[in-house]
Structures are given as C-alpha cells and as structure tokens.
Amino acid sequence: MNEMDPTRLQADPLADGTIAAILGVCDGNPDWQAIAVVNRQIEQWQANGPLATWKADASVAPHIADALESYVRSAMALPAWADPAKIDRAETLFIDYGMLSCTLLFCSSLPECYVIPDLAAVLHVAGQLEERTEYRIRSTAAMIFPVMMKGGLTSASGSGVAQVLKVRLIHATIRHLILRGDPCHAVRLGVVPPLMAAGRAASMHQALFAHGWDIPKDGVPCSQEELGYTLLTFGYVFLRSLRKLGLGLSHADEEAYLHTWNVMGHVLGIERALMPDTMAQAEAMFDKIQARGRAEPFEPDPRPALGRDLMQTMEAVIPMRAIRPFPTLLTRYLCGKTTATDIGIAGRVAWYSRWLFALFMLIVRAIDTVMRLFIPGFAISRLVTRIVGYQFMAKVLMDQTRPLKLPPQLLGGVDAMTNSWKADPKAPKWMNALEKRLTGRKEAQA
C-alpha cells in the first residue's frame, strides 16, 4: 500500500459503525433479513424535514432502530461553512442547464467515474445482478436530482439530505459485506478471500459478500479517496465539460457549483480535505487520483465492460444509424483519449460517423463564435446537447418501466423541473421552436 495515500484506507466511521451495530461481524452468512429491514426503513426517508423526528417502525428490533435513529440525527446537519446563497445559485444553474447536464452525466461524469480501477470493480460487483448500466444511471440520478433541485439541501420540503443519507448507508453496507465486517478490523487483517471461484450469486448482497477484496493492494471499497473522486466527477467534470463545449461559467458560478457539491459531500461523509473550492484545486486533485488509479491496474479490468455498456445504452435511444456513435465520440471529446482507452471506447468508429461528428463540431463552434458577436450567449452547442439530454431523460431516466423506478415523490419533483426546461431562456424563439419540433414535445414556452 502506498503510504502517501492514506485516504484509500479510510472509510466512514459513522455509517460503518451504524451498519456494524446492525449486522455485527460476518463470520458466517450475514443477517440478510436485517439488511432487508434496513432497506425498508430508509425508504421512509423521503424529505429533509421529517428526519429530525424520524422513528423506526415499532416492529423493528431495538438494536436496529437505535442505530438508524442515532445515525440520522448525527448525519443530517449541513456543515457550518455551508453558504445558502451559493447553494441557491448552483440550484439555479442546474435548472438552467438541466437537459444539457443529463448529456454531460452520460458523456463525461459517469465515464470518468469508471476510470479508477478499484472503484470500477465495486460498481461492477454491486451491479452485476441488475440491468447494470440503466440501474446505475437511474440510481445516480436518484441522488443528483434531489440534491440540485430547488431547496434540495436547505429546505424541509427538499429531499437531497434524505436521499444522500440513504446512499451513505448503502456505501457502508457494501463495505461491510465485501470486507465481512467493520473496515477498521478488515484493514488489520489485510486480504479478504473470495468465497466462490465462479458462478453467479443469488442476489447482489450475496455477490458482494462472496467477492473478496485485497486491501493492501486496492484499499477499502468505497474509500474516502473514491468518494472524493466521485464527488469531483459530478462537480468538476461537469464544469470542465461546459468549458470544452464553449459554455464555461464565470469563476463565481463555478465555485458556487463546487461549493454545493462539497456540502453534499459533507452529508455523504467525505472529509473536508477532499473537497476543492476552486477549479484549479479540483483539477489538481482529480489528476492526482486518476494518475494513482492508472498506475495500479486491477485484474481482471472491469472498466471496459462498464464503458461499453454505457455507450450502448446511449446509442439505443438514437434512431439514426449514422449518428448513433455520437455519444461515444462526444465522450472521447469531453474526456480525452486516455480515459476513452481506459473504459474501452477507443475502438474504431465508422468513418462517416467520425466525419459527421467532426464536421458538426467544427460548424457549431464556428457559428457560435460568429453569432456571439451579435447575440451574447448564443449557442448551437447548447441547443444540441439539450435535445440529446431530453432523449436520455425521457427514454432512460423517466421511463418507469426500467429497473429501479424513481420514488413517486422524487418523480413528481423531477417531472416538474423538466417541465421548466421546455424552453431555453437564453435562446431566441426560433431555436426553442426548433428544439420543440426535434424533441417531439407538445408545448414549449419562450
């Protein structure tokens, strides 16, 4: 283990202690029923306000009820350094860039999330028994939208804090099952041997429990470093992608966006040292963690399967064959050749698709550059990414026939927010009319 990377051995004492109090030491099979009880109880966490007085059901065993109630009271508070004005600004930006942010989630944030091999390995084993890619996308959206919707972190009616606390406890459960006990105890032991050489487990939890883990080589699963890196993919990578598309924000707006994700990171149990306040700090931290991950390969490498499945999911919602590879080509453009190689999407694409994409990017950048001399904020690139984002939103995230249905309360909030995206306030009427026609929406207001 590289002694310069202590965050790879650090997890989340509060959440880990909560799960350890519920499951105990997993010498034999864990208490699968207790895990089911926990999952049913945390599904009740739908809004921030009721968390302060939440009580487990009377039928829940006292040791489970006490652990969950104590966890909620301890973890729900925002940090003292949280700035409501910055959070409000970031929420406005998210709404303003809403459909575009869906495109960037698919084509930059998630692909970069797969780059760290040991993090990708956790994602792979945790999702191998699901419709993997769509399940991961929808579970990610189920956290991002509650956080970034108006009042998501700051109001009693918001659901960002409630949703993040669920995710935090899920991370602890994953760690506990893979390590078969509390992470601190597992770190002292070193290697957790696999229980099955081959075959498929009956459930995701059993797959985690049987998988095994090499702590001296790979650190603890869902470590502080991995959590901090994931936070960067939602904040820094999103902002970096806007810059690459010629849609970069002001420094103040970028820092407000990073700040909001840092507040979310605090609720998720991430240490403050892993939360950059500026784009320069974020870039340095992001590059450092990626370099470490690439220097220590994970065998077998789970990343190419994750990357290719993600691209196939996006291509499936694009009707025209010639432009089906555009998500792959956009991901290469936004993330770079090294990341594309890491996640297995650097292979050959049909020449006519590559030509069309290159021509499209060239024409869009030229038109945007000229038109902004006359119309500040004009962006064909914004129009196109909004159209693509709408397709992903409608056909993957909002489709309730897919795996992992969004909760009704969250679905209603997301639906209301997407209705507010029906017209781009920065675009002229003709562009909104074109967007309406290309997306097939019934109405849009300028």
- The predicted-structure confidence for 137-186, as pLDDT tens digits, reads as follows 777 777 888 898 889 999 999 999 999 999 999 999 999 999 988 888 88
Say if 56 falls within a structural domain: yes
Percent above pLDDT 90 for the chain: 42
Whether residue 372 has pLDDT greater than 90: no
Model confidence at 254, in pLDDT bands (50, 70, 90)? very high
Model confidence at 444, in pLDDT bands (50, 70, 90)? very low
The radius of gyration of the chain from alpha carbons, rounded to an integer in Å, stands at 22
Query: Distance (Å, rounded) from C-alpha 243 to C-alpha 283?
Result: 13
Please tell me the predicted confidence (pLDDT) of residue 1.
41
Model confidence at 410, in pLDDT bands (50, 70, 90)? low
Say if 342 falls within a structural domain: no
Tokens of residue 4, six digits: 């310069």
Rounded to an integer, the average pLDDT of 317-339 is 88
Q: Output the average pLDDT for the chain.
A: 83
Please tell me the predicted confidence (pLDDT) of residue 399.
57
Do residues 382 and 100 make contact, with C-beta atoms less than 8 angstroms apart?
A: yes
Query: Distance (Å, rounded) from C-alpha 52 to C-alpha 344?
Result: 45
Say if 322 falls within a structural domain: no
Say if 57 falls within a structural domain: yes
Stronger pLDDT, 42 or 411, i.e. the higher one: 42
192 strand-pairing partners:
213
Contact partners, residue 293, CB within 8 Å, separation at least 6: 115, 116, 117, 118, 119
DSSP conformation class of 265: H
Say if 358 falls within a structural domain: no
Please tell me the predicted confidence (pLDDT) of residue 195.
81
Query: Distance (Å, rounded) from C-alpha 435 to C-alpha 386?
Result: 8
Rounded to an integer, the average pLDDT of 272-287 is 97
Say if 18 falls within a structural domain: yes
pLDDT digits (tens, 9 = 90+) for 38-84: 999 999 999 999 999 999 999 999 999 999 999 999 999 999 999 99
Model confidence at 194, in pLDDT bands (50, 70, 90)? confident
Whether residue 2 has pLDDT greater than 50: no
Say if 316 falls within a structural domain: no
Query: Distance (Å, rounded) from C-alpha 380 to C-alpha 434?
Result: 11
Model confidence at 197, in pLDDT bands (50, 70, 90)? low
Say if 58 falls within a structural domain: yes
Which stretches of 214-350 are DSSP H helices? Answer: 215-218, 224-234, 236-244, 251-267, 279-295, 303-315, 326-335, 337-342
Write down the pTM of the prediction.
Answer: 0.85
The total of structural domains in the chain comes to 1
Through-space distance between the first and last CA atoms of the chain, rounded to whole angstroms: 57
Q: 83: domain range?
A: 6-304
Whether residue 305 has pLDDT greater than 50: yes
Please tell me the predicted confidence (pLDDT) of residue 392.
67
Do residues 129 and 203 make contact, with C-beta atoms less than 8 angstroms apart?
A: yes
User: Lowest-confidence range among 165-169, 256-260, 264-268, 395-399?
Assistant: 395-399
Distance, CA of 444 to chain centre: 29
